[in-house]
């Protein structure tokens, strides 16, 4: 399997937070969703990958490390942070011109197409755009230079469901030829359930898991049981559990195996939200 | 690097539009006021020229301000731009700003001198030489304050720049006063000052380079 990105053991220490030994890989042609609480370290991972902070460990893009001087490699990467990083007095058209003068492979027609598709007013200054429009402009910039990899930090935050759906379709179009890949962080796990092939869950600066989404959704389950069954389920592959008013929710890694062992118990499918919630808030074995 | 300079210039054009009215009022008002109140009109063009040139010099501050507020630098470094290119782009933008300010100042000076009947070939030569000298000096000043802006940010950077210039100016003045008491002829210190200044500029450039390479976001 070829990887667009391989993150190997990256570590970054701050006074109050440590990104600890983070490793995951994004296969070429896939979408990897990065999930986690606020402050879990998702944005720090992006910064570490893009050499915006010093860190230990290694990050490989298409098998090669990227240094500050590797300009050609950055031609192949499109980045959108969670807030627009252009001066607010620039216009949409001027942002397009910045791209034209910055990227060798800038595709003005593609930028224009996205600006039209997103209904962005060309002559409007950025400060007059809504949050959603600013994010769309960010994405139009990141997607107009034939990038093979998109690194997107919360691109759908603050957007209405229709706009979000529109962007998700755009991301799916982007990876259709299986040459392009996306690494995307989001709090809106339902978005990732729709588009991601892989999910990496970051919890308190560490990788809690990095798995295929289908494996998560089809294998993980939540056992609803009483105190009497809890001890038995805990010994049979429980990841975390949480006490509710009158029962326990137990996150298990292999719900079919649990079903076979405990046929009398109610076992529901687990959504990514529930997996995340139980992993963060639940008690661990 | 073209994209970086273009971005800075477009931001500054926006700021210039805001400042243009004030400048225009000054450029018309100052000569008219001087003409009406003073008999000595020998330096009527000097002040407006200086103002235009200085305005060119400070324009980069606005660009730094917008960069800081929008987090532009960290985004720019995800584009095909190296940190050193980013650093150099600021000097280039500064040079363009100073050049534009100087050309504007020159035009204003020549127009005022012409309208007041003072324009001669000799004066034109003097104005040109002064403008070129000022532009060169202001470009050199950029080598000091651009690294400081990148290191400390716009507000702190401006303060550190002022303190630096005041310190260097104060030390130089004290030295000159001290040396005058030993020897009246101070021409011998000109090459020393030039070498020290060159050393300072080179040091600041490399310090700035180091800061930019080490900057984290």
Same domain, A35 and A87: yes
Report the range of poorest mean pLDDT among A119-128, B84-93, B182-191.
Answer: B182-191
Report the range of poorest mean pLDDT among A61-65, A143-147, A205-209, B179-183.
Answer: B179-183
| Distances in whole angstroms, Cα of residue A52 to Cα of each of A16, A138, A145, A239, B84 | 19, 18, 21, 35, 14
Give the C-alpha separation, A279 to B211, whole Å.
41
**DSSP letter (8 states) at residue A258:** H
Question: pLDDT at residue B173 above 70?
Answer: yes
Its domain, for residue A227, covers: 220-284
Q: Does A87 touch chain B (CB under 8 A)?
A: yes
Ramachandran region, residue B123 (left: φ > 0; alpha: ψ -120 to 50; beta: rest): alpha
Q: Which of B1, B10, B13, B63 to mutate to test the interface with A (most CBs of A within 10 A)?
A: B10
Q: CA of A195 to nearest chain B CA: how many angstroms apart?
A: 24
Same domain, A98 and A237: no
Q: Which of A213, A236, A255 is the last residue of a domain?
A: A213
Share of residues in chain A with pLDDT > 70 (%): 100
Q: Give the model confidence (pLDDT) of B79-114 as tens digits.
A: 999 999 999 999 999 999 999 999 998 898 888 888
Q: Which of A213, A230, A260 is the last residue of a domain?
A: A213
Give me the pLDDT at residue A239, please.
Answer: 87
Which distant-in-sequence residues (6+ apart) come within 8 Å of A186 by Cβ? A33, A34, A35, A154, A155, A156, A157, A192
| Distances in whole angstroms, Cα of residue B110 to Cα of each of A285, B30, B98, B125 | 83, 15, 18, 11
- Cβ pair A183, A152 in contact under 8 A: yes
Same domain, A224 and A186: no
Q: Which of A213, A237, A257 is the last residue of a domain?
A: A213
Reading the block at residue B31, the tokens are: 């000569």
Cα A207 to chain center, whole Å? 13
Give me the pLDDT at residue B41, please.
Answer: 66
* Residues B172-179, mean pLDDT to the nearest whole number: 84
Please tell me which residue, A10 or B30, carries the higher pLDDT value: A10
* Residues B147-167, mean pLDDT to the nearest whole number: 91
Contacts of B213 in chain A (CB under 8 A): 68
Contacts of A74 in chain B (CB under 8 A): 78-81
Question: pLDDT at residue B189 above 90?
Answer: no
* Residues A115-143, mean pLDDT to the nearest whole number: 93
Q: Which of A53, A66, A86 to mutate to test the interface with B (most CBs of B within 10 A)?
A: A86
With cut-offs at 50, 70 and 90, classify the pLDDT of residue B180: confident
Same domain, A118 and A228: no
Same domain, A255 and A126: no
CATH of the domain at A36: 3.40.50.300
Question: pLDDT at residue A216 above 80?
Answer: yes
**DSSP letter (8 states) at residue B39:** S
Question: pLDDT at residue B44 above 90?
Answer: no
Across the interface, of A68, A85, A94, the residue whose CB is closest to B71 is: A85
Q: Does A53 touch chain B (CB under 8 A)?
A: yes
Which segment, A25-39, A154-168, B11-25, is predicted with the most confidence on average? A25-39
* Residues A86-112, mean pLDDT to the nearest whole number: 96
Same domain, A205 and A225: no
Same domain, A96 and A34: yes
Average pLDDT, chain A: 92
Its domain, for residue B191, covers: 2-214
Same domain, A105 and A132: yes
Please indicate whether, in this complex, the C-beta atoms of A102 and B3 are within 8 angstroms of each other.
yes
* Residues B17-37, mean pLDDT to the nearest whole number: 81
Same domain, A243 and A208: no
With cut-offs at 50, 70 and 90, classify the pLDDT of residue B42: low
Q: How many domains does chain B have?
A: 1
Same domain, A73 and A191: yes
Same domain, A185 and A237: no
Give me the pLDDT at residue B95, please.
Answer: 94
Same domain, A62 and A175: yes
Average pLDDT, chain B: 88
Please tell me which residue, A149 or B196, carries the higher pLDDT value: A149
Please indicate whether, in this complex, the C-beta atoms of B81 and A51 are within 8 angstroms of each other.
no
Q: How many domains does chain A have?
A: 2
């Amino acid at each position: 399997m070829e990887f667009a990105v391989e993150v190997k053991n990256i570590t970054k220490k701050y006074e109050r937070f440590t990104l600890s030994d983070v490793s995951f890989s994004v296969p070429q042609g896939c979408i990897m969703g990065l999930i986690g609480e606020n402050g879990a370290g998702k944005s720090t991972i992006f910064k570490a990958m893009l050499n915006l902070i010093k860190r230990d460990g290694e990050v490989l893009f298409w098998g090669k490390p990227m240094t500050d001087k590797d300009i050609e490699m950055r031609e192949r990467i499109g980045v959108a942070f969670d807030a627009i990083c252009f001066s607010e007095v620039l216009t949409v058209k001027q942002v397009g011109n910045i791209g034209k003068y910055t990227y060798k492979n800038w595709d003005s027609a593609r930028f224009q197409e996205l600006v039209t598709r997103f209904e962005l007013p060309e002559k409007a200054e950025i400060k007059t755009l809504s949050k959603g429009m600013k994010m769309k402009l960010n994405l139009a910039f990141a997607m107009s230079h034939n990038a093979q990899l998109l690194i997107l930090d919360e691109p759908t935050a603050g957007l209405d469901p229709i706009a979000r759906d529109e962007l998700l379709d755009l991301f799916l179009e982007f990876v259709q030829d299986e040459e392009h890949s996306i690494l995307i962080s989001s709090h809106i796990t339902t978005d990732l359930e729709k588009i991601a092939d892989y999910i990496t869950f970051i919890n308190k600066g560490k990788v809690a898991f990095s798995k295929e989404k289908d494996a998560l959704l089809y294998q993980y389950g939540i056992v609803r049981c009483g105190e009497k069954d809890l001890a038995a389920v805990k010994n049979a592959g429980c990841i975390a559990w949480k006490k509710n008013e009158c029962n326990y929710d137990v996150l298990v890694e292999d719900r079919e195996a649990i079903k076979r062992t405990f046929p009398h118990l109610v076992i529901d499918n687990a959504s990514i939200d529930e997996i995340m919630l139980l992993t963060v808030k639940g008690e661990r074995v | 690097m073209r994209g970086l300079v273009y971005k800075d210039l477009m931001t500054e054009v926006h700021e210039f539009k805001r400042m243009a009215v004030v400048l225009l009022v000054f450029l018309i008002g100052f000569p008219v006021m001087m003409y009406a109140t003073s008999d000595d009109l020998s330096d009527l063009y000097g002040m407006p020229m200086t103002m235009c040139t200085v305005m060119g010099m400070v324009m980069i501050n606005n660009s730094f301000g917008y960069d800081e507020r929008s987090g532009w630098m960290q985004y720019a470094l995800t584009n095909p731009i190296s940190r050193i290119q980013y650093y150099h782009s600021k000097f280039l933008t500064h040079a363009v700003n100073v050049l534009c300010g100087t050309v504007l100042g020159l035009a204003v000076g020549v127009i005022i001198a012409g309208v007041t009947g003072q324009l001669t070939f000799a004066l034109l030569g003097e104005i040109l030489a002064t403008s070129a000298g000022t532009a060169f000096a202001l470009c050199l000043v950029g080598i000091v304050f651009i690294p400081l802006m990148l290191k400390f940010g716009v507000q702190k950077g401006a303060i550190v720049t002022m303190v630096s210039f005041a310190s260097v100016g104060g030390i130089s003045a004290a030295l000159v006063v001290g040396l005058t008491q030993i020897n009246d002829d101070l021409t011998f210190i000109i090459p020393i000052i030039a070498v020290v200044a060159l050393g300072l500029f080179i040091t600041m450039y490399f310090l700035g380079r180091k800061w930019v390479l080490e900057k984290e976001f």
